[in-house]
Amino acid sequence: MSNSAKSGVRVAFEWTLLVGAILWAASVWWRTSRTEASETAAQPARNNETARASTPAPPSLTELFVAELPVTSLSDGLPQTGHWRGKPALADVNQDGHADVVASIRRWTQEVPGEGLTLWTGDGRGSWYDARGDLRRDMGYGGSALGDVDGDGDLDLAFSGHDVPPCLFLNDGAGAFAADGIATPADKTCADVALGDIDGDGKLDLAAVGFWPLEGGLWWFPGRGDGSFDGKRTLLEDKHYGAQVDLVDLDSDGDLDLIAATSLGPRIWQNDGQGGLTEWKVELAEPEIAGSDLALAAADIDADGALEIVCAGMVCADHPPLRLLKLGADSWLSCGSGLPAGEALFDVVFADLDGHGLPEVVVAGKKGLLVLATEASGHFRAIGRIPDTIGAIHLASGDVDGDRTHEVLVVGLSGVRVLKTRIPGGA
């Protein structure tokens, strides 16, 4: 496809998203109006104690966004402006013992000129220092993944820019990355990348999910251990696309399984230990609107050795914006209760905010970050919200200040923040 045609598709795609968002907002307003009208109409009947009992509706985000959690911002030196998006990363890239931040900017601002990939090193006390160096920055925004691809002990960076295919940047050990990076065999615009040893040969492999409808795909590429990769192993054909991909050992058998938020809904592949990936059945209807699924995260919430998966995304019929998938006899079952409904969620991460060992769920919505406790039964309980000041879009979590509780890295419509919260009863 030519650049002008691509540009046309991009504009059409973004317009489709915009129109979809307007239609979605109108439908929510219409349903809310109807609910309010019907509740008003039902009042006299309730007063006469003749109202019929009805099935309780799932709690809306507005209902759950009750308690505001105390928040400390550990964000000195991070940008206060700019439109940031794409899955960020939080890990120690310069090997000084403190977490560093990788994020990417979509729109130009004076504070952070140019589109693209940015890196800050942290001091473990909430101050951050621009460490972009000569890092190539013409790739646009996209998902990041860190892993030691060349086996020299430091974290290398894979980045799926919006404007060019994914690139790999090798770390010099002190957190400086080769300026141009190495082109990967993922030769299309991708939404996200993941690094992990899929085939068990001790060398990290690359997974990538395509961004564009009809020109997408989901693949993995065996790593050669020097920053280069072998040719693609296809998991989803080009007509499908996605928003996030990750590698996690779902069944605790020692190998990495693959999960992805795709245009077909959440998709899961089981690894045979040698890179043979077999798709696991997911008992969940495909979304009515392709591309409604935006994010997923995995953690063992009931301590049974198998991980559970939470999926977040847009609202569509019979497809709530937050879902829990749990492994049954031979397939993944949609379950969970207490899940919020009625509002789109852009990202989800697990984070141990109280240091108790079991992670909380943090989701990014229009009204801020909602923090939920997940009980072993699969019930979600709203703990409170972190008020949003930046229009959160993507999240990551990790221990920034070394106190063994997690902080949340937030990128959004006006800047980048690292937020620390305390939850009632926490450590």
Contact residues for Ca ion, defined by CB under 5 A: 92, 94, 96, 98, 100, 148, 150, 152, 154, 156, 171, 197, 199, 201, 203, 205, 249, 251, 253, 255, 257
Report which secondary-structure segment, H or E, holds 31.
helix 3-47
Tell me if 119 sits within 8 A of 93, measured CB to CB.
yes
C-alpha pair distances (Å), 264 with each of 43, 240, 374: 42, 7, 26
CB of 304 to Ca ion, least distance (A): 15
CB neighbourhood size of 330 (10 A): 7
Extract the runs of DSSP E, i.e. beta strands, from 352-399: 360-365, 368-374, 380-387, 392-398
CB of 167 to Ca ion, least distance (A): 15
Q: Which residues contact 356 (CB under 8 A, 6 or more apart)?
A: 426, 427
Name which of 39 and 152 has its Cβ closer to Ca ion. 152
CB of 49 to Ca ion, least distance (A): 55
Name which of 138 and 272 has its Cβ closer to Ca ion. 272
Tokens of 312: 């977040």
The conformation of residue 93, written as its DSSP 8-state character, comes to S
Name which of 95 and 389 has its Cβ closer to Ca ion. 95
Name which of 115 and 257 has its Cβ closer to Ca ion. 257
CB of 106 to Ca ion, least distance (A): 25
Scan for tokens 């419509």, then name that residue: 413
Instruction: Decide the pairing of beta strands 233-236 and 242-248.
Output: unpaired
Query: Judging by beta carbons within 10 Å of its beta carbon (0-12, 13-18, 19+), is residue 333 exposed, middle or buried?
Result: middle
Query: Judging by beta carbons within 10 Å of its beta carbon (0-12, 13-18, 19+), is residue 201 exposed, middle or buried?
Result: middle
Query: Judging by beta carbons within 10 Å of its beta carbon (0-12, 13-18, 19+), is residue 397 exposed, middle or buried?
Result: buried
CB of 407 to Ca ion, least distance (A): 14
CB of 202 to Ca ion, least distance (A): 7
Tell me if 253 sits within 8 A of 259, measured CB to CB.
no
Instruction: Decide the pairing of beta strands 277-283 and 265-271.
Output: antiparallel
Name which of 176 and 364 has its Cβ closer to Ca ion. 176
Name which of 305 and 425 has its Cβ closer to Ca ion. 305
CB of 287 to Ca ion, least distance (A): 26
CB of 97 to Ca ion, least distance (A): 7
Name which of 64 and 207 has its Cβ closer to Ca ion. 207
CB of 272 to Ca ion, least distance (A): 9
Scan for tokens 């605790």, then name that residue: 252
Name which of 156 and 407 has its Cβ closer to Ca ion. 156
Name which of 100 and 293 has its Cβ closer to Ca ion. 100
Tell me if 186 sits within 8 A of 165, measured CB to CB.
yes
